[in-house]
Every structure is written in structure tokens, then in C-alpha cells.
A and B are shown apart, each in its own frame.
Chain A
Amino acid sequence: ETGVTQTPRHLVMGMTNKKSLKCEQHLGHNAMYWYKQSAKKPLELMFVYNFKEQTENNSVPSRFSPECPNSSHLFLHLHTLQPEDSALYLCASSPIRGADTQYFGPGTRLTVL
């Protein structure tokens, strides 16, 4: 049990759909992260939230819209995605931003048709 859960685990969507990914952490952490992992590529940091405030947007296209209503929950809203956005989306948390160790959720496998 990593303490970080993600739903759904798998998602297939068309390019005109709107969907959301959810992440919840039960570790009492204050920083949360979204990463993208494409096949055979390194994990790419997308967004960082620290105490509910966005502190990092790593040049992510606006078709990805994060939301952090509180320190325990993080969403990634998706709209008008492209097939190249198909990837594993991982959520992570840490006690504070920049902490040595981040704890990851299992990820959402997204397929955009």
C-alpha cells in the first residue's frame, strides 16, 4: 500500500472527450505532482502543487488542466487530447515540495483514440 491512489486505472477516450484523472494521498503530505511516462521515455514532470498552490507548470499544453482542491486530492482534467498524449500518468506526493522521496500512485493508463 503506497498510500497514493489513482482512479481510473485505465482510460480510453476520443479526441473530443472530456475526462478527469483523480489522485488521492493518505500520507498527510503537502506536495503533489503529476508525471507523464511515455513508452521507453523518462518520467516527465508536468505539474507541482505545494500546499494547494501550483508551483510548477513544466510547459504543459493547456489541454491538460490540473486542480488541487486540498492537500490530499489532485485532479488532472483532460480535453481535446491528441493520440500522442497516450501514456501512463502518475501522481506522486511528498511531505513538502522538493523533499527527497516522492511516493507514487499506480498510475492511469490513458489511451487517446
Chain B
Amino acid sequence: DQQVKQNSPSLSVQEGRISILNCDYTNSMFDYFLWYKKYPAEGPTFLISISSIKDKNEDGRFTVFLNKSAKHLSLHIVPSQPGDSAVYFCAARGMEYGNKLVFGAGTILRVKS
């Protein structure tokens, strides 16, 4: 049973518009959440993270929102650029799991120019 779920396998967005990638988790003991980005033939690279004591973290065009009551987080990219086209993985961590990262299955983002 997946504890971190990315229910949208893919998302297509026009350049300049907002991309919103969603992630749901089941374990309330997760206390830290990360987003990774993966290009073809490359490994995942860290993008942005958020601690459970916050509800928002912003880094340039990327903002992550955390709704603990709904066990939901989202990544907003605005404005979206063609170079943002990649697979985005959500990951969660909690002491109960020895601080291992638990990943979602990923969402493929395509930004059309």
C-alpha cells in the first residue's frame, strides 16, 4: 500500500501558465516533505522541501504548500517554462521510518511552448 501517492501520472501545461502538481500521503507521522525533479537519463535532483511545522515554502518560481489536516501537498511552478518538463517525485520522511525517504510514483510534467 503506497503511503505517498501522486494520483496524476501526467500533466500538460502551456508555457507561462501555472503548473500544479499534487501529492497525498497517508501517514500523519511524516514530518518532512521533498520534491525531486528527474530528466530522462539523469537521476532525480532535489528541488524544494517543506517541514511539517510550515504550510508554505517558496524558492523562486517554485512554491510548495502543505495541508496537514488533508495530508496533502502541492508544488506550484509559475510561470512554467519548457525546461520544467520532467518527472516530479514527491517524497516524505518520518522518524517512525528511520528517516527513510518514501517516494511517490511521479508525475510527468510537459510544458508546451
Task: Point out residues on A near B: beta carbons under 8 Å.
Answer: 2, 4, 6, 9, 40-43, 45, 48, 56, 90, 92, 97-98, 100-107
Q: Is B67 an interface residue (CB 8 A)?
A: no
Q: Is B32 an interface residue (CB 8 A)?
A: yes
The CA-CA distance from A106 to B42 in the complex, in Å, is 4
Q: Which chain A residue shows the least CB distance to B32?
A: A100
Q: Which residues of A contact B104 (CB under 8 A)?
A: 42
Q: Is A100 a contact of B49 with CB atoms below 8 Å?
A: yes
Q: Which residues of B contact A48 (CB under 8 A)?
A: 100
Known contacts being A97-B99, A98-B98, A101-B49, is A41 close to B43, with CB within 8 Å? no
Q: Is B98 a contact of A56 with CB atoms below 8 Å?
A: yes
Q: Which chain A residue shows the least CB distance to B104?
A: A42
Q: Is A42 a contact of B103 with CB atoms below 8 Å?
A: yes
Q: Is B101 a contact of A45 with CB atoms below 8 Å?
A: yes
Q: Is B43 a contact of A104 with CB atoms below 8 Å?
A: yes
Kindly state the interface size class of chain B when it binds its partner: 20 to 34
Contacts A42-B4, A107-B43 known; list 20 others, CB within 8 Å: A2-B45, A42-B104, A43-B44, A45-B101, A56-B100, A90-B43, A90-B44, A97-B99, A98-B98, A98-B99, A100-B32, A100-B34, A100-B49, A101-B46, A102-B46, A103-B46, A104-B44, A104-B45, A106-B41, A106-B43
Q: Is the interface of A mostly helix, strand, loop or mixed?
A: loop
Q: Which residues of A contact B2 (CB under 8 A)?
A: 42
Q: Which residues of B contact A92 (CB under 8 A)?
A: 43
Residue in A9, A43, A101, A107 whose Cβ sees the most chain B Cβ within 10 Å: A43
Q: Which chain A residue shows the least CB distance to B101?
A: A102
The CA-CA distance from A105 to B42 in the complex, in Å, is 7
Q: Which residues of A contact B46 (CB under 8 A)?
A: 101-103
Q: Is B82 an interface residue (CB 8 A)?
A: no
Q: Is B79 an interface residue (CB 8 A)?
A: no
The CA-CA distance from A106 to B43 in the complex, in Å, is 4
